[in-house]
Structure 1
């Protein structure tokens, strides 16, 4: 049994209670007891409590990452100049299969620790490198060891080169993992189990049905890449799911950039959520983020990292990328039709993106009652953000200072469920050294395997894109093919 956490009092900070979108900073203390926020107010008394001095700093809710393939931290920097098709061919079709279970453990741990270092206290891990049952257990072990709050979504994708672990065996293994380790999970459980279903169109529709039905049967939340591709590789995936009765409120649809407003309305009707990962979406060629369109329809909408193979686990980068990508797209439409005189107040606002990076993301994961905001009774997922940097002064608008003028390196202290995982700018428990050693050792192991498989980006065979398009059409629902 873990030892009970000592009371902790965060004193003297400028605290952001309630929905971060409201931007109501106030001088206050935060009392943490038994992993929960016990009180928020000025000059709190807590005899014997450990103290964290937040004078001159912001006290914020921990950031929530709603879409992240943590294992890919083993490949940092690989996809910097790649397109989405390069990514699918290089990482999904080749490098995922090169990962042994210990490599998945190392990448997942390194990725989760990097997230904590940047103030991310909750993450949805779409673990789609489950090449064997051991790969799943090692990824799960890494998430637990890191200390992050997580929704560990067991990936049902068959990795090329690991076909010996069949689709049927994956479903059985997911059932076994649920029965053996997660039958008593609830929203407050630090690491919960979920399902990462196959990309729509990548498998026969009967299997898509089976995967969504299994998630529903087990009472598990699920995540899926939705409407990420364009042109001949695109399909009305959300419409298909709706017509087959597969949409539900406990789903996170990643990206959805190519979704029509009508398809987003279907997600809103079902109560499903959307995760935008603006850095990878713009960089890889998935289209402009659907973040604002989704949120304006009332869809719970969060932000995420996606892949550390190409982007850092950095919520400040997410917020800025989302803000500028969506504003830029909307501004351009106005400029082209009405010129500069047609410009109005830009949307989304800095308050909007701070909300999506915190409480909005928590709601997307079904955790709005647990984390995402500083409120009495919620989990003590808290960060202290220094504001004494030369790049931050003066503080004219506190929310703008957080979103536009702060960096991950300004994160001073991080708590997850009341546990201090970072303090005075340093990760605790040997996390930093271990994550670095694991990442470097794993890359040294992976390098000769990747080289033997064709190198960092193996040449794409002639006609592979037409094959993908044909396979997607063949895997459409029966009624859509008639």
Structure 2
């Protein structure tokens, strides 16, 4: 049909709505802007047309021409806002984007947990995507679905932000479960120093790819991969290649080698950060890409003062965020080392730095982190298992820092964030209960709730990695890093509290669908685009080769634990 008059004009004789809504929306908008008789309509059309396109022509008409008809602009605006995106302040922005952007995917009818502070879950809502971006979150059914738009049925699902693992060693996937009954020094000296020097670049690739796909399978869409297996430039390239091949959002954090000289790198080291970091920075120069880069600095107490100063300033020169690991305030086998005070001596406490673990810092060190804009990443499961002590959750919170969560390594514990969230809240409440018991008091009502823990596993992780502008919450304009949990199961039904369901009840088995940057990478419970048998075979063959080459170098505690677990019955091939 030829559109001779804008039906939004109050004297349009035909109304023509049923026909107009089927026209190509770009052509329609362009034509309406040209022919509408009212200047105010032309000037304000982009602001108000969202109501028109969402299927409410009369509201849009009344709002657009309120001045011509003498209607109170505040009244009409309030009426439109009340019917647009559930009264959200983001309504106008969403409506503009709905018109400007072509819808590519809609996630229909889910219980949406945006992850935004103080925003309650939104039952029966749709999430609209245009390419890799979220362009609207609106009550279900408010607008018709274009024929070319892909549809994800979320009527029996929680729609939530992708989880963020703020510290992981993906190259250790090959060694899964080998040190679950060992303390940290046994792992470092009897396994890592013995076996890891035999890692080839292809072993790094196999482990990193398998580990990244495990993350996606568990609903983790973003990871900081703290890579300390950079025994050669080829090892570094293999790590980056695997992250890029996986399709996940990743921060490649460049650290030091674990080769035959490992003790010289990781104990009172006079060796400066490997210079190959400059080459890698050129390779990963796009800070808007899916795989970006950070500087994985060794813990301050592990290197000499001159090295600390050099490494921190090298990171600044390269424009890289620092994430420092290596037992920051970890176990006390060597006594307290006060790593944050060491950095303070040389004015190295810089905003944005991520301090990993932080279990046994002095009170003033937590204050120093908070006061200088630092972030804390805690790994409660791994920390308690390896003997670091209680997680730093309570200390961080009481000194003004909300920590991000991480899994650390599957050498010790499971690699999913659901278990990490549960252990974070369980250890915190257990500690508070223990302190109350010691004081002969009852526990006060909980200040930290499941909503806070979910924030630590999403938004706080994004903040720690410098990615808050693109991920961590479901908001208009952010990247579509989205997870759907299937609630139509005996594990999660009936759905009564979406937040506690995510934090305390869900498991990786409930992750039905995963999107990263708008692309579906897990669908109907199955990872897409990968031959998983080939991935599993690759990491298994790598494990066999490494044990065959370096098994004789393993320490007695490792050999004993592995023998007790039946590992010595595995067939090891060359």
- TM-score normalised by length of structure 2: 0.75
Aligned-partner Cα distance in 2 for 1:300–1:321: 16
In 2, the alpha carbon distance for the partners of 1:13 and 1:127 equals: 37
Which of 509, 534, 538 pairs up with 1:409? Answer: 509
Q: Distance in 2 between matches of 1:164 and 1:234?
A: 21
SS state of the match for residue 334, structure 2? helix
User: 1-side partners of 2:246 and 2:332: how far apart?
Assistant: 37
* Cα deviation 1:388-432 (Å, max 9, x = unaligned): 221222222221111111111100000111111000000000253
Match of 1:376 in 2: 476
Q: How does 1:447-462 map to 2 (within 5 A)?
A: 447-454=547-554, 457=557
Distance 1:220 1:123, change over 3 A: same
Q: Counterparts of 2:215 and 2:536 in 1: how far apart (Å)?
A: 13
Alpha-carbon distance in structure 1 between the residues aligned to 2:471 and 2:410: 24
CA distance in 2, matches of 1:58, 1:345: 27
**Counterpart-to-counterpart distance in 2, 1:438 and 1:23:** 44
Alpha-carbon spacing, 1:455–1:362, altered in 2? closer, same or farther (3 Å):
same
Alpha-carbon separation, structure 1, partners of 2:212 and 2:119 = 29
How many angstroms does 1:40 deviate by? 0.9
Instruction: For residue 167 of structure 1, report the CA deviation from its aligned partner.
Output: 8.2
CA shift, 1:364, in A, is 1.2
Structure 1: tracts of 5 or more residues without a match:
461-482
CA drift at 1:140? 0.8
1:231 CA drift (Å): 5.2
Q: Does 1:178 align with 2:278?
A: no
Confirm or deny: 8 A CA contact 1:21 1:352 kept in the other structure: no
SS in 2 for 1:266: helix
* 2:254 counterpart residue number: 154
Q: For structure 2, which runs of at least 5 residues remain unmatched after alignment?
A: 1-101, 561-574
Instruction: Tell me the equivalent position of 2:138.
Output: 41
Compared CA separation, residues 330 and 300, structure 1 to 2 (3 A): closer
Q: Which residue of 2 aligns with 1:468?
A: none
1:53-103 Cα shifts (integer Å, max 9, x gaps):
011110000000001001110101101111111122134322221211111
User: 1:50, 1:459 → 2: CA distance?
Assistant: 53
Question: Which residue number corresponds to residue 357 of structure 2?
Answer: 255
Matched with 2:566 is none
1:228 match? 330
- CA contact 1:370–1:378 (8 Å) conserved in 2: yes
Larger relative contact order, structure 1 or 2 (CA cutoff 8 Å, min sep 6):
1
> Is 1:367 aligned to residue 467 of structure 2?
yes
Match runs of 1:49-448 below 5 Å: 49-161=149-261, 171-179=274-282, 181-183=283-285, 185-186=286-287, 188-225=288-325, 226-230=328-332, 232-339=334-441, 342-430=442-530, 432-448=532-548
Q: Contact conserved, 2:230 with 2:255, CA < 8 A, in 1? A: yes
Structure 1 residues 450 and 73: CA distance shift in structure 2, 3 A: same
Distance apart, 1:435 and its partner CA: 2.7
TM-score, normalised relative to structure 1: 0.89
Q: Answer whether contact 1:300 1:361 (CA < 8 A) is retained.
A: no
The more displaced of 113-122 and 85-94 is 85-94
Q: Distance in 2 between matches of 1:164 and 1:288?
A: 30
1:164 to 1:71, Cα distance in 2 relative to 1, 3 A: same
Q: How many residues align?
A: 452
2: distance between equivalents of 1:392 and 1:115?
A: 21
Closer, same or farther: CA 100–361 of 1 in aligned 2, 3 Å: same
How far does residue 13 in structure 1 lie from its aligned partner after superposition? Answer: 0.5
Match 2:116 to one of 4, 7, 19:
19
Cα pair 2:341 2:365 within 8 Å, conserved: yes
- Structure-1 separation of matches of 2:221 and 2:537: 22
State the partner residue of 1:478. Answer: none
Question: Cα RMSD between the aligned structures?
Answer: 2.4
1:164 Cα deviation after fit? 11
SS of aligned partner of 1:355: helix
SS at match of 2:394: helix
